[in-house]
Amino acid sequence: MTSPATLSAADQASDSTRWPLRLWGMLITLCIVLFLDGLDVSMIGVALPSIGSELHLSTSTLQWLVSGYVLGYGGLLLLGGRTADLLGRRKVFLIALAVFAVASLAGGLVDDGTLLIVTRFIKGLAAAFTAPTGLSIITTTFAEGKARNKALSIYTVFGAGGYSMGLLFGGLMTGLGWRWTFLLPVPIAIAALVAAFILVPKDEAPEEGGHDILGAVLSTAGMLLLVYTVVTAPEVGWASVRTLGSFLAVIALFAAFVFTELRVAHPLVRLGILTKPSLWRASLAIIAVAGSYFSWQFIVTLYLQDSLGWSPLKLALALLPVGILVVGSAFFSEKLIDRYGTGPVIAVTMAVMAVGYLLFLRIDTAPSYLTVLLPAVLLVGVGWIGFPAINVQATSGIDDDEQGLAAGVLQTSMQVGAAIVLAVTTAIVTSGAHAATGTPSAQDMLNTYRPGLEFAAGVSIVGALVALSVFLPRSRRALAAQNDSVADTKVLEPTG
């Protein structure tokens, strides 16, 4: 799927990371698109109060501005990654990016809540194709080893930067008007579309053979229904007939999907890829990182703005150190991976992130920024420094023709896992809110939110403990084997 000219550049990069300007241009273009994907997940949160006030939307309707994006993103990621492998990465990337730009423009112009939710779903759908396709373009262009580690580190730092900087951009844009949170990505996406058209190499002829249409329908329906069930369960009840029936339908759809993949000649997903240790370990790690962070960010945004009266800009500046750490890590994350391997980097950064959440539990109704908030924010930011290592871990040892699929599996784990963790967090917070009577004080609201904060911290702690037990023993052996071969190869391969 990669042009000979690009492979030649990648071969040269396997021994050196001094790449041609055109290769750098392609990488930065892909990075900017991933940044926009992450930005849209978190930027909308700051604008929700303004949107609800102007369009007269209820809290339950506002939730769908977040959930609609996750529904499209998480539900179609597997299909997006595999479609890129089968139909051509450049073609899929360009079409999806164009759809993203149009949906962003429409979202900034509509005046109806339902139409606004539809534009969010379409943007999530487009991101479900651009994210795994961009990652697979990189992993099939840069040779596995130092070159790929560096490229993936830069790429995924941009993605993490989008998630972590979303509050800052959301605060700035909401100050101008909530519509700017939708319009900001439009010119950026158009510029990236033009650059990608010029810089991303043309696809070779599509793979011969049939396409698994039934498998695509079953997997997409299963993922969409799973995400929908998870995000609506807190509202209708986890034990309700509707929720339980939906989960049974999800199980039936996935069972039919597995049966189909085992029987068709050209399966959408080669099920053997799901047994790759590097992929499922990375998937578990990314669920813990994203799930705990999105839940923490959700609660922090509500508490500091609604209960303590912070402005969107003040909130954005308070959490800015997270984004600064993530962006700054672009200069050294690949060096950490090359020196220590993916395993230790993942385990240590996840452990530091968990400590940050524990420190944040000291928050009260008049928190000191320097002694309470800043230390926690900095440690949480360190956790995102391990994000590139998770992506390197997931794609190591995967054949080129399945890189898009592997990327889709990892991104699906992130979006669906984070949606599940956030839904549980929301249910915990909502149950506490229902128990309160009268007009709640700041202390009452803190008491309501604290169990959710504790749950998010618990998810992070469990993830860190699993990472420490799974990654470190194997990483030490792999790193020792690397050191033995360094004299001959002069190139460290990724471990973990």
> Distances from the Cα of 407 to the Cαs of 139, 328, 403, in angstroms?
10, 24, 6
Mean pLDDT of 446-461: 92
Vertex 148, ends 142 and 152: CA angle to 5°?
115
Identity of the amino acid at 436: A
pLDDT confidence band for 387 (50 / 70 / 90) = confident
- Distance, in Å, from the CA atom of 463 to the CA atom of 10, rounded to the nearest integer, reads 34
Mean pLDDT of 177-202: 92
Ranking 30-34, 67-71, 111-115 by mean pLDDT, the lowest is: 67-71
Ranking 59-63, 80-84, 194-198 by mean pLDDT, the lowest is: 59-63
Q: Return the biggest CA–CA distance within the chain.
A: 72
Supply the pLDDT for residue 119: 94
Q: What is the mean pLDDT of the chain?
A: 81
Supply the pLDDT for residue 482: 47
Q: Quote the radius of gyration of the chain (alpha carbons, Å).
A: 22
Asked whether 294 and 418 are in contact (CB, 8 A), the reply is: yes
Instruction: Concatenate the DSSP letters of all residues of 315-378 into one string.
Output: HHHHTHHHHHHHHHGGGTHHHHHHHH-HHHHHHHHHHHHHHHHHHHTT--SS--IIIIIHHHHH
Mean pLDDT of 145-158: 81
User: What tens digit of pLDDT does each residue of 251-268 get?
Assistant: 999 999 999 988 887 787
The answer on pLDDT for 392 being more than 70 is yes
What's 208's DSSP letter?
Answer: S
Residue 118 corresponds to which tokens in the numbers above? 């539809």
Asked whether 36 and 181 are in contact (CB, 8 A), the reply is: no
Ranking 184-188, 271-275, 381-385 by mean pLDDT, the lowest is: 271-275
Mean pLDDT of 26-53: 86
- Distance, in Å, from the CA atom of 113 to the CA atom of 110, rounded to the nearest integer, reads 8
Q: b/e per residue, 225-250, with b = 16+ CB within 10 A?
A: bbbbbbbbbbeeeeeeeebeebbeeb
- Distance, in Å, from the CA atom of 463 to the CA atom of 465, rounded to the nearest integer, reads 6
Supply the pLDDT for residue 2: 40
* Gap between the terminal Cα atoms of the chain: 27
Mean pLDDT of 50-67: 78
The answer on pLDDT for 461 being more than 50 is yes
pLDDT cut 90: percent of the chain above it: 26
Supply the pLDDT for residue 272: 79
Phi, psi torsion values for 220, nearest 5 degrees? -65, -45
Identity of the amino acid at 1: M
pLDDT confidence band for 32 (50 / 70 / 90) = very high
pLDDT confidence band for 60 (50 / 70 / 90) = low
Task: Collapse the DSSP code of 136 into the 3-class scheme (helix H, G, I; strand E, B; otherwise coil) and give the result.
Answer: helix
- 454 vs 403 pLDDT, higher one: 454
Which parts of 237-276 fold into alpha helices (H)? Answer: 241-263
Asked whether 109 and 118 are in contact (CB, 8 A), the reply is: no
Q: Which of 115-124, 233-242, 383-392 has the highest mean pLDDT?
A: 115-124
pLDDT confidence band for 206 (50 / 70 / 90) = low
Phi, psi torsion values for 365, nearest 5 degrees? -80, -10
The answer on pLDDT for 13 being more than 50 is no
Supply the pLDDT for residue 448: 87
Residue 413 corresponds to which tokens in the numbers above? 């784990």
Mean pLDDT of 302-327: 82
The answer on pLDDT for 118 being more than 90 is yes
Mean pLDDT of 291-295: 88
User: Taking the C-alpha atoms of 420, 422, 427 and 430 in order, what is their torsion angle to the nearest 10 degrees?
Assistant: -160
Residue 225 corresponds to which tokens in the numbers above? 């229904």
Residue in 192, 195, 196, 170 with CA at minimum distance from that of residue 183:
170
- 369 vs 53 pLDDT, higher one: 369
- 372 vs 474 pLDDT, higher one: 372
Residue 404 corresponds to which tokens in the numbers above? 């898009």
Supply the pLDDT for residue 343: 87
Instruction: Concatenate the DSSP letters of all residues of 274-299 into one string.
Output: GG-HHHHHHHHHHHHHHHHHHHHHHH
Supply the pLDDT for residue 353: 95
Task: Collapse the DSSP code of 240 into the 3-class scheme (helix H, G, I; strand E, B; otherwise coil) and give the result.
Answer: coil
